[in-house]
Structure 1
Amino acid sequence: MAQILRPSQKYLSKSLFTSSIDIGLSLLLLMPTTALAEGNNNNSNDPPPQTTGTSGGSRGCETQSEISSSSIPSLILLAPSQIYGQTLATRPTFAWFISNSASSQMEFRLYEYDQASKQSKLVKEIKDENFKSSPGIMVLSLSSPELLVGRRYLWQVELVCDVNRPSGNPFATAAMKVIPVQPDLNKQLSQTNNVLNKAILYNQADLWYNTLEIALTSKDEPKLRELKMFLLEQVANGSQTGLKEQIKVELTKSTIHQLQR
């Protein structure tokens, strides 16, 4: 993953967020999120369970003879793959990329993870007949359950190629923390109605999921489009494959599909 150094604290004054959007976005592009910096201090002493943000092996539900070594993964979660992505939302938005043009049945699972016991408890599962993939970026907003502040979660997406052979299904898993909002951040958020400025604040606080939600669900306009491209490039740069440039191209040209459950 790209390692970007954090600017000196003196540059993070509130005035920078209320001056101009152009300046704000420039700051955003110079600052790390949890998805950008390996060994981020917020997470270095609290490693997540083993997760992978990309599916291994096959590209979707193609046969082995159709799989090419140059094919990008069938499934890429828009999340940090080696650290906990953080969020303030108790009903967060999840997003992933599907590379295969053929529609497949999908399954989504959300687990609460106990750091002490190393056990995971299923708290949400979606696998109805209408939950199917489309090529591009799929954005899932959950109406329930309400997640608990201070808890850790694992989320997983699986493509169902053969219900009789689930071991062959491509899947990927990522880790998430729900954290409390800090007073200073809460104050700054309350002082702006501009969604891009809010995204900048979230990004500076290493709140990957809050930042990504704004980028993927807000009205399309140039600066937010630039923010979206920046975040998607970080996902590509963090992928554990030798196809980073190809993944970057596919992610940044993707259609976005909104899902509600």
Structure 2
Amino acid sequence: MTQILCPSQKYLRKSLFTSIDIALSLLLLMPTTVLADGKNNNSNDPPPQTTGTSGGSRGCETQSETSLSSIPALILLAPSQIYGQTLASRPTFAWFINNSASLQMEFRLYEYDPASKQSKLIKEIKDKNFKSSPGIIMLSLSNSELLVGGRYLWQVELVCDANRPSGNPVATAAMKVVLVKPDLEKQLSQSNDVLAKANLYNQADLWYNTLEIALTSKDEPKLRELNMFLLEQVANGSETGQKEQIQVELTKSPIHQLQR
């Protein structure tokens, strides 16, 4: 049965997913994040209010440790308040986990209709092997093809306590799949250089395409600067007062690649 959601003023909670009509709870925690070239794209086409960071900073406490860091437990590597754009029908999603424990994660992808302001759940991952690792997690969806022109919301949740879903760190971001412009398509086809392609994506405000290259090639000296700049944009979007600390943590984080 299709699940339909509408924006409201509280976070999504797992317990709400048992009904057809659900309030899509997206609390605004971060100011607008610009893309890597400094442009604030899609200003006339805003998505629902999204939160790129989880609420609070303590995350999931364990018996052996209590997080004293003011860094949010969960940070999505995505713009806030605007649609991060991609050319990929099977894009890669990335987020940062600030917790050393291996925790159950849940991923949800919604197709959003700006006209009706409703969202339909089209993908959910919550299997027992889908667990967190400290650092940056990159997720590729091999069996989910997004539509050009489609608008989507994606959400990550850390399951601290399955019996108390209201206490789980959760964050949501928006994505739009766009059609490649002829000039860009020609330039990309003529370039075999990874750095050149990353710069072309960046100049075209294609956040997700740029970030994927920057993260997977961050050990390449020429791409390290671009990678650090993108992560700086994510850190600057935080309202925790720990922007520099967040940037340092993001920059030095190991990267874990997952596929579902």
Q: After TM superposition, is the score higher than 0.5? A: yes
Kindly indicate whether the alpha-carbon contact (under 8 Å) linking 2:35 and 2:233 is maintained by their aligned counterparts in 1: no
Number of the residue aligned with 1:167: 166
Number of the residue aligned with 1:34: 35
Q: State yes or no: 1:224 paired with 2:223.
A: yes
Kindly indicate whether the alpha-carbon contact (under 8 Å) linking 1:33 and 1:208 is maintained by their aligned counterparts in 2: no
Which residue identity does 1:234 align to in structure 2? Q
Which residue identity does 1:224 align to in structure 2? L
Partner SS, residue 61 of structure 2: coil
- The CA distance in 1 between the partners of 2:34 and 2:182, in whole Å, is 19
Kindly indicate whether the alpha-carbon contact (under 8 Å) linking 1:33 and 1:204 is maintained by their aligned counterparts in 2: no
Which residue identity does 2:194 align to in structure 1? V
Which residue identity does 1:48 align to in structure 2? P
- The CA distance in 1 between the partners of 2:37 and 2:58, in whole Å, is 25
Structure 1 pair 170–79 and aligned structure 2 pair: CA distance change class (3 A):
same
Partner SS, residue 189 of structure 1: helix
Number of the residue aligned with 2:241: 242
Which residue identity does 1:189 align to in structure 2? L
- The CA distance in 2 between the partners of 1:147 and 1:208, in whole Å, is 16
Query: Structure 1: which 5+ runs fail to align?
Result: 1-31
TM-score (norm 1): 0.82
Report the identity percentage: 84
Structure 1 pair 90–214 and aligned structure 2 pair: CA distance change class (3 A):
same
Task: Give per-residue Cα distances to partners, 1:76-128, cap 9 Å, x unaligned.
Answer: 00000121100000000000000111111000000000000000001111010
Q: State yes or no: 1:74 paired with 2:73.
A: yes
My pick for the range that moved more, 235-244 or 138-147, is 235-244
Count of residue correspondences = 227
- The CA distance in 1 between the partners of 2:207 and 2:82, in whole Å, is 11
Which residue identity does 1:146 align to in structure 2? E
How far is the alpha carbon of 1:241 from its aligned partner? 1.9
How far is the alpha carbon of 1:37 from its aligned partner? 4.1
- The CA distance in 2 between the partners of 1:132 and 1:66, in whole Å, is 19
Number of the residue aligned with 1:8: none
Q: Which has the higher helix share?
A: 1
1:154-193 → structure 2 map (5 Å cutoff): 154-193=153-192
How far is the alpha carbon of 1:233 from its aligned partner? 1.3
- The CA distance in 1 between the partners of 2:92 and 2:66, in whole Å, is 33
Q: State yes or no: 1:258 paired with 2:257.
A: yes
Kindly indicate whether the alpha-carbon contact (under 8 Å) linking 2:87 and 2:178 is maintained by their aligned counterparts in 1: yes
Q: CA RMSD in A?
A: 2.0
Partner SS, residue 238 of structure 2: coil
Which residue identity does 2:196 align to in structure 1? N
- The CA distance in 2 between the partners of 1:122 and 1:35, in whole Å, is 30
Which residue identity does 2:158 align to in structure 1? L
- The CA distance in 2 between the partners of 1:141 and 1:155, in whole Å, is 13
Partner SS, residue 96 of structure 1: strand
Kindly indicate whether the alpha-carbon contact (under 8 Å) linking 2:36 and 2:229 is maintained by their aligned counterparts in 1: no
- The CA distance in 2 between the partners of 1:193 and 1:127, in whole Å, is 37
Number of the residue aligned with 1:152: 151
Number of the residue aligned with 1:85: 84
Number of the residue aligned with 1:122: 121
Number of the residue aligned with 1:211: 210
My pick for the range that moved more, 42-51 or 155-164, is 42-51
How far is the alpha carbon of 1:237 from its aligned partner? 1.2
Kindly indicate whether the alpha-carbon contact (under 8 Å) linking 1:108 and 1:125 is maintained by their aligned counterparts in 2: yes
1:131-142 → structure 2 map (5 Å cutoff): 131-142=130-141
Partner SS, residue 139 of structure 1: strand
Which residue identity does 1:183 align to in structure 2? P
How far is the alpha carbon of 1:36 from its aligned partner? 6.3
- The CA distance in 1 between the partners of 2:218 and 2:168, in whole Å, is 34
Structure 1 pair 36–125 and aligned structure 2 pair: CA distance change class (3 A):
farther
- The CA distance in 2 between the partners of 1:209 and 1:54, in whole Å, is 17
Structure 1 pair 35–164 and aligned structure 2 pair: CA distance change class (3 A):
farther
Kindly indicate whether the alpha-carbon contact (under 8 Å) linking 2:157 and 2:168 is maintained by their aligned counterparts in 1: yes
Query: Structure 2: which 5+ runs fail to align?
Result: 1-32
